[in-house]
Structure 1
Amino acid sequence: MANTTRGAGPHAGQPLVTAGAPLECARLAVVMIHGRGGGPEDMVGLADHLALPDLAVLAPQAAGRSWWPDSFLAPLEANEPGLSSGLDVISNLLEDLAERGFGPERVALVGFSQGACLAVEAAARLARPFHMVAALSGGLVGTGEADGAPRADLYDRPAKRFDYDGQLPDVPLLLGCHQQDPHIPLARVRESAQVLDAMGAAVDTLIIPGAGHGIIADEATWLRKHLNKA
């Protein structure tokens, strides 16, 4: 694998960090996507915590360590070209993995926060039979703007459309979020779960009581369980 990302826009040509098992002897490839202000090293640290030595980890870095400038709840145009560039980087990375013998059934997508939104959005738009997808504090970005005024339960942002064409039949998919997350409204998490369930994904929604924004032990346990599956 190259050590930089492929694609178009600002996130192309950025560092691509690899860790874990070499691809030639790995059971699965895990694409791990960092959050705003974070970096690949954060996701590699999570992978190390999972202690699964037969996984190949690939962690792309966003330009300026942010995949887009505004909240994922903002109108799509407010986050371009970052959003499209991030999705293109993920798509190209999946193509590169396929050329190395890792079809989607041998690939997992895992993201935290902004990276969680990018991971689950890529899964919905690409609609491939991934080994698993995990959005740790995240929800769908959406495909367009819906009619209506800003909503209090979306942190005073307007609603989105979720017009995805494909299916995710039986793909294990985790949506984790604190009940009072300052960045991810619970309403978007629940709406995302409904959309992804309708696409055929096997959705697990983990709502963490109280306020917070971070990865908890129950999410790591879910990851370990599903990454261990053949």
Structure 2
Amino acid sequence: MSQQIDGPRLAPASGVAKSLVVFLHGYGADGNDLIAIGREWARSLPDAAFVAPHAPERCMASPAGRQWFPLTFRDPDERRRGVIAARPGLDAFLDAELARHGLGGDRLALVGFSQGTMMALHVGLRRATPPAAILGYSGMLVAPEVLQSEATGKPPILLVHGERDDVIPVDALFAATDALGAAEIPAEWHLSPGVGHGIDPEGLRQGGAFLASALKPRRTSLRAASQG
């Protein structure tokens, strides 16, 4: 992932960014696929800036779309190699976006869909400064066997999955929560009844509420202020 990446942005509704929400799209889509969610969440996240970068590679299966890494669906190790190769470029983008807004890494939230969830979990759990939250829709945890030795923090995580997902079966949700729990990284989860490989209104509502809680501005206690 050597190419620079960029994508659509939404300014914070309040006019001042106190947090950054980054959407990571799925295989064969691009940043335009998710950025509109920022408009839906703007009321509950008025101080959040939103950005949805286009993945750096053209998708061979959908030339109009993009991919974070190639998938043949024949090689069981391609996802592990893919997230490892894509991580440095995405990390650099996240650092640049945080600097753009004058924010620390702890004011970052990653929101992924499908392949974007693979990236959000892999990169977010290995950031030098753990993000404020990771929200993953219809995805999976790649290389769970190395998570415990590689994770740098324990950010709040919410995983949402469609009950009838025939692209990434719902078993991936439970495999991810089991692996996160084994690494002592607790994760919340929500199963969307009757939903396939997509996001329903309830999943969006729960995701927005989760981020609003995780990104709530910190207040200095009176005791700490009086001692300062």
Scaled by the length of structure 1, what TM-score is found? 0.75
| TM-aligned CA deviation for residue 95 of structure 1 | 2.3
What is the CA-CA distance between 1:107 and the residue it aligns to?
A: 0.3
Match of 2:206 among 208, 217, 222: 222
Report the equivalent of 1:86. 86
Instruction: Give, in angstroms, the shift of residue 60 of structure 1.
Output: 1.3
Task: Give how far 1:128 is off.
Answer: 4.0
Aligned residue for 2:141, secondary structure, equals: coil
The correspondence of residues 49-198 of structure 1 with structure 2, limited to 5 A, is: 49-51=40-42, 52-62=45-55, 63-64=57-58, 65-70=66-71, 74-77=75-78, 80=81, 82-100=82-100, 101-126=102-127, 128-142=129-143, 161-164=145-148, 165-169=150-154, 171-198=155-182
Q: Secondary structure, in 3 states, of the residue corresponding to 1:224? A: helix
Provide the C-alpha distance between the structure 1 equivalents of 2:129 and 2:8, rounded to a whole number of angstroms: 24
* Counterpart-to-counterpart distance in 2, 1:33 and 1:133: 11
Which amino acid in structure 2 is aligned with residue 219 of structure 1?
G
Query: How many angstroms apart in 1 are the aligned matches of 2:16 and 2:69?
Result: 34
Within 2, Cα distance between the matches of 1:73 and 1:217?
Answer: 33
Which of 1 and 2 has greater Rg? Answer: 2
Residues 74 and 46 (structure 1 numbering): CA distance in 2 closer, same or farther, change over 3 Å? Answer: farther
1:24 shift after superposition: 8.3
Computed over aligned residues only, the root mean square deviation of the Cα atoms, in angstroms, reads 2.8
SS for the counterpart of 2:189 is: strand
C-alpha change, 1:24 and 1:142, in structure 2 (3 Å) is farther
5+ long unaligned stretches in structure 2:
59-65, 217-228
Q: Contact conserved, 1:72 with 1:114, CA < 8 A, in 2?
A: no
Tell me the matched-pair count: 202
In 2: Cα distance, 1:163 partner to 1:20 partner: 34
Q: Render the CA deviation track for 1:109-146: whole Å, top value 9, x for unaligned.
A: 00111111211121233374321111111111216xxx
Counterpart of 1:55, as a letter, is: A
Q: Which residue of 1 aligns with 2:224?
A: none
Please give the alpha-carbon distance, in whole angstroms, between the structure 2 residues aligned to 1:182 and 1:45.
25
Percent identity over the alignment? 29
SS at match of 2:8: strand
Gaps of 5+ in 1: 1-7, 144-160
Map of 1:5 onto structure 2: none
Q: Deviations over 1:96-116 (max 9, x none)?
A: 245453222200000111111
Counterparts in 2 of 1:133 and 1:163: CA distance versus 1, 3 Å = closer
Per-residue CA distance 1:168-225 (angstroms, 9 max, x = gap):
33x2211111223112122222121122233443411112223511111222122221
Structure 1 window deviating more from structure 2 (114-123 vs 19-28): it is 19-28
Counterparts of 2:67 and 2:193, CA distance in 1: 27
Output the CA distance in 2 between the equivalents of 1:108 and 1:78: 22
